[in-house]
Amino acid sequence: MTERKVRVRFAPSPTGPLHIGGVRTALYNYLFAKQNGGDFILRIEDTDQTRFVEGAENYIVESFKWLGLKFDEGVGIGGDYGPYKQSERKELYKKYAIELVEKGWAYYAFDTAEELDALRKQYESEKKNFQYDCNTRKGLRNSLSLNKQEVDELLAKDVAYVIRFKFPENEDIHLDDLIRGHVKMNSSLLDDKVLYKSDGMPTYHLANIVDDHLMCISHVIRGEEWLPSCPLHVMLYKAFGWEDTMPKFAHLPLLLKPDGNGKLSKRDGDRLGFPVFPLQWTDPKSKEVSSGYRESGYLPEAVINMLALLGWNSGTEQEIFSLDELVETFSIDRISKHGAKFDLEKAKWFNHQYLQKVEDEKLVIDFQKDLKSRDIEIVDESKLIAIVGLVKERCNFVKDFWDNSDYFFVAPETYAEKALKKRWKEGTSERISFIATEIAKIEDNNLWADNAEEFIMKYISDNELNMGQIMNSIRLAVVGDTKGVNMLDILKILGKEEIVSRLNTAAKKIGL
RNA sequence: GCCCCGUUCGUCUAGUUGGCCUAGGACGCAAGAUUUUCAUUCUUGAAAUCAGGGGUUCGAAUCCCCUACGGGGUACCA
């Protein structure tokens, strides 16, 4: 067999915002495609009309734009294998379903949803489990149990029907998963899945196989929730006679809730204080808002890096990877087999790492928005750049900047009590106000701060004082707390007038 | 219930052909150093009897079996 071109697809259904687990699936697909010089395709699987959610498709497209994962083909991009939205391919599927019926691999079933529901309930009451399969299908209303004339009549009368796959009896179905290795399941245990619904739409199973085949998909990399139905998919390839070009499968482990049990779900994020969605999402019906990574201040590169390492590792001790580096080092056989719990602390750490790499000038743009929302008049930009440069190393997010630099913008109105007790003793006010008057006399040029500091040092040594005590008092007077960057930098940025004023205010207010 | 997948520090994981594993790294946590403060940074430390029990073997986290636990599936959802 000749080596096929690598073509992978990410195929979400537009039933809501894209979940972070889905993003990871897409990322792994992307990395695999790019590494192999292949194509990365976006297909929208909107075969369930009842679950369609307004805006979800656009949300998916926007999310990937933000994340910087580019599709080569698909919805919104185009390509030679379109259309890429399954609802637009609707006409196509029926003929394949019928082909399967004609080949004896599928059959018409006329049972209504209500009839089947009733059957399930009945079985349940007998503590048994109902399954539409090789054991029960003969007793149900379908083209296997009914004679040909009856079936033709029903079809002619336009009675609602579905087409179900006919699993052969007692046959072992083998599957080689790239992550899990060899998996075997017996056909008798599998149920006759609906392939074609009574509303004229295919189910996932049919549409998926037909489209993957038609779009020449070489590898299917998807979540583990699909593993149980993979034998059906393998059988479908066989039934259609497409075994030669059947894609290779890789079933990814799931992302789990950080606390209790179960897979990560929509609600977990805001319940536990972290986003599960790349972008903020407002539910069109309930108007409920779910937070997004973007709005929470995460950098897309950090999200990608964090996600990549959640279930995969390079085998080295490297943890920080650019997208390009990931493309280079990624490999399916280094994906772990077990589910991974999301770790908020590590996510923050990743963002911290990436935040440090962003130029101060760029960060200033976002910081200014934050300042504006706080009604802070924008000081000159070079000052802002300097502040960001001093402060960012202690922050995980741009939104942390404020707490670490507020004293640059507003003079303290109160002084932290704990700090006062420790840093402001009898006679401190007197000393501080003396220092204020003295440094006020220093000529106000760009050497002022250095000269002021020099004076303070001299004052300390002349008076045989504890240096820390005086410097900390100054910090307290200027900042209002024990926090803050290097004192000389604060002196420089705030300038003579402001510093002198704050020192005098503190001396007066605190007294002692 | 039945079927499938999994199980190494609190979390993400290394460990891929059994011996170099007295199990390594990262996040988080603790202590110390630097910073006269806070934070960053750096160093050190605590933290997994490799889910449990049986095998196989000179030797098992690594192979086999059983049990337990976790996850997924079991829809005219994807």
What is the three-class DSSP state of A194? strand
Q: Return contacts of A170-174, CB within 8 angstroms, 24+ apart.
A: A173/A231, A173/A234, A173/A235, A174/A234
Predicted local confidence at residue A260, as pLDDT: 67
Q: Is the CB of A316 under 7 A from strand B?
A: no
DSSP-derived pairing of the beta strands A255-256 and A340-341: parallel
Same domain (yes/no): A39, A106: no
The distance (Å) linking the CA of A13 with the C1' of B10 is 35
A425/A465 same-domain check: yes
Closest residue (CA to C1') to nucleotide B77 in the complex: A48
Instruction: Output the pLDDT for position A377.
Output: 80
Task: Report the pLDDT value the prediction gives residue A2, as an integer from 0 to 100.
Answer: 57
**A460 and A384 within one domain:** no
Q: Which helix (H) or strand (E) holds A185?
A: strand A181-186
What residue ranges of chain A have pLDDT lower than 50? 1
Q: How far is the CA of A233 from the C1' of B53 (A)?
A: 38
A86 inside domain: no
Residue A80 lies in a domain: no
Same domain, A352 and A362: no
Strand B at less than 7 A from CB of A318: no
Task: Tell me the CATH number at A416.
Answer: 1.10.10.350
Q: Are residues A102 and A64 in the same domain?
A: no
pLDDT tens-place string over residues A274-312? 899 999 999 999 999 999 999 999 999 999 999 999 999
Please report, for chain A, how many H helices and E strands are present, in that order: 19, 14
Question: Quick one: which residue's CA is nearest to B37's C1'?
Answer: A482
Q: A285 and A215 in one domain?
A: no
* Cβ–Cβ < 8 Å for A159, A110: yes
- Active-site annotation holds for A90: no
A53 plus A106 within the same structural domain? no
Q: Domain holding A347: CATH number? A: 1.10.1160.10
Residue A1 included in any domain: no
Question: What value of ipTM does the predicted structure carry?
Answer: 0.95
pLDDT of residue A475: 95
Looking at the domain assignment, is residue A83 inside a domain? no
Interatomic separation, CA of residue A173 and C1' of nucleotide B1, rounded (Å)? 23
A65 strand B contact, CB < 7 Å: no
Mark whether A350 and A362 lie in a shared domain: no
Render A105-155 in DSSP notation, one character per residue: SEEEE---HHHHHHHHHHHHHTT-----STTTGGGSSBTTTS-HHHHHHHH
Residue A106 and residue A182 in one domain = yes
Contacts of A298 (CB under 8 A, 6+ apart): A275, A347, A351, A397
Q: How many domains does chain A have?
A: 5
Residue A435 sits in which domain range? 411-510
Residue A491 belongs to a domain: yes
Q: Which amino acid is at A44?
A: I
**End-of-domain residue from the set A400, A432, A457:** A400
Q: Report if residue A499 sits inside a domain.
A: yes
Same domain, A221 and A294: no
Within a domain: residue A78?
no
Asked whether the bond before A83 is cis by omega within 30 degrees of 0, the reply is yes
Residues 388-407 (A) near nucleic chain B, CB < 7 A: 393-394, 404
C-beta separation of A138 from A145 below 8 A: yes
From the candidates A248, A266, A383, A483, give the one annotated as an active-site residue: A266
Q: How long is the CA A349 to C1' B31 vector, in angstroms? A: 22
**Cα–Cα distance for residue pair A471/A511, rounded to 1 Å:** 17
Question: What pLDDT does A224 receive?
Answer: 96
In a domain, A473, yes or no: yes
Between residue 460 and residue 489 of chain A, the positions with Cβ below 7 Å from nucleic chain B are: 467-472, 475, 482-487
Report the pLDDT value the prediction gives residue A273, as an integer from 0 to 100: 85
Shared domain for A223 and A172, answered yes or no, is: no
- Residue A484 CA and nucleotide B38 C1' are separated, in Å, by 6
- Evaluate the CA torsion angle A220, A224, A226, A228 in order and state its sign: positive
Q: Are A56 and A126 found together in one domain?
A: no
